[in-house]
Amino acid sequence: MTTLRRLHPFALRLYLALSFALFAQSAFGQTPAVVGDAASRGPGKPVTVPVTITIKEETELELQNIDLTISEDGEPQTIISIRGIGTNSPITLAVLIQEDLPSVGNEIKSLANFIRNLPKGSRVMVGYLRTGSLQVKQRFTNDLEKAAKALRPPSGFANSGPYNPYVEVIEALKRFDSQPLGRRAILLVSDGLDISRGLDSSSPTQSVDLQRAVNESQRRSVAIYGFYAPTAAAAANPSLAGNAQSSLLRLSNETGGLAFFQGTGAPVSFDPFIRELDISLQKQAALTFLSTHLNKGFHRIEVRSSTPGVRVSYPSGYVR
């Protein structure tokens, strides 16, 4: 596996040390709704979140028979529907590649084949994170071959990349507004490094735009999957590499996705990442529940299964 279990020790220690501080999102003004607040009560409003359901290999169990419950701000909520569970259902996916990654050129063929093999009816957008703004090479389309052909090797030049990948991730997230509800995801190929406000902003607790990307992703029910590939700056500085990986890990964990690493250097190949991503997306579903907490702000959610042998991954919450 090439996810958290292979995370660089520095990045792992940093991420774990910060997890408690980030739990309530207080550093960024996100205060969970107060349970029992009468002002937050109302007739209820549907909210959709991405969940990934994993079953132990030795367990003989159909996905449709899994028992799920969800709570919001500590109170049980009613599940309305679970779309995509146990089926090869379509997904709306944005593939975003950072322009200044010198090691990604050889991975374009594998990424194109991944797009071609998505479920029929899936919609794909292809974009590049560049200096200035997001370059969209292909708008959302259900022509998977057309989307696959829109991929190109990134230039790899240091002056062509963004100082901050998360601003352009937010720009890409806004394009989901015109897309149908259901399973949604972003595949982000990036170094995850935010130095737009100096080296301090490279920390996952100090990057304002990383927090905004988490918020906008949760708001739109988009799970983000990160493939880490270093730029020259990250490769030359272990502390920066640790911050970059921790940032990608936080972005994926808090949106219901996964982050993929292979040490602190460039991966030998994306093929193991793509195989694990494909398996994860096959197990992803869109869970819609009736929210009774209608006040603005951050709402923490928890999804559980009482079915033995089942593990559920989900975003930490959402911002209304």
Whether 23 is in a domain gets the answer: no
For 124-180, what is each residue's pLDDT tens digit? 999 999 998 899 999 999 999 999 999 999 998 888 988 889 999 999 999 999 998
CATH code of the domain in which 163 resides: 3.40.50.410
Mean pLDDT, the chain, whole residue set: 85
> 48 and 115 share a domain?
no
pLDDT: which is higher, 271 or 181: 271
Burial of 111 (0-12, 13-18, 19+ CB in 10 A): buried
Segment 70-96 shows an average pLDDT of 91
Residue 37 has pLDDT above 90, yes or no: no
Model confidence band, residue 257 (pLDDT cutoffs 50, 70, 90): very high
Task: Specify whether 197 is located in the same domain as 263.
Answer: yes
- Express each pLDDT in 174-224 by its tens digit: 999 999 889 999 999 999 988 888 777 788 888 999 999 999 999 999 999
Specify whether 53 is located in the same domain as 93: no
Same domain, yes or no: 312 and 259: no
- Does the structure show a pLDDT above 50 at 57? yes
Report the share of the chain in percent with pLDDT over 90: 59
Examine the domain organization and report whether 57 and 110 are in the same domain: no
- Structural domain containing residue 293: 30-86+285-319
Closest C-alpha to 185, from 268, 285, 111: 285
pLDDT digits (tens, 9 = 90+) for 274-291: 999 999 998 899 999 999
Q: Taking the CB of residue 81, how many other CB atoms lie within 10 A of it?
A: 13
Residue 199 shares a structural domain with residue 238: yes
State how far the alpha carbon of 39 is from the alpha carbons of 43, 78, 271, in Å.
Answer: 12, 19, 50
Domain membership of residue 303 (yes or no) is yes
The number of domains in the chain is 2
Query: Based on the domain organization, do 306 and 218 belong to the same domain?
Result: no
- Mean pLDDT of all residues in 47-74: 80
CA triplet 95, 98, 101: central angle to 5 degrees?
A: 125
* pTM for this predicted structure: 0.84
Secondary element (H or E) of residue 9:
helix 9-22
Q: Are residues 64 and 95 in the same domain?
A: no
| CA distance linking residue 243 with residue 32, whole number of Å | 26
Is 114 within the bounds of a domain?
yes
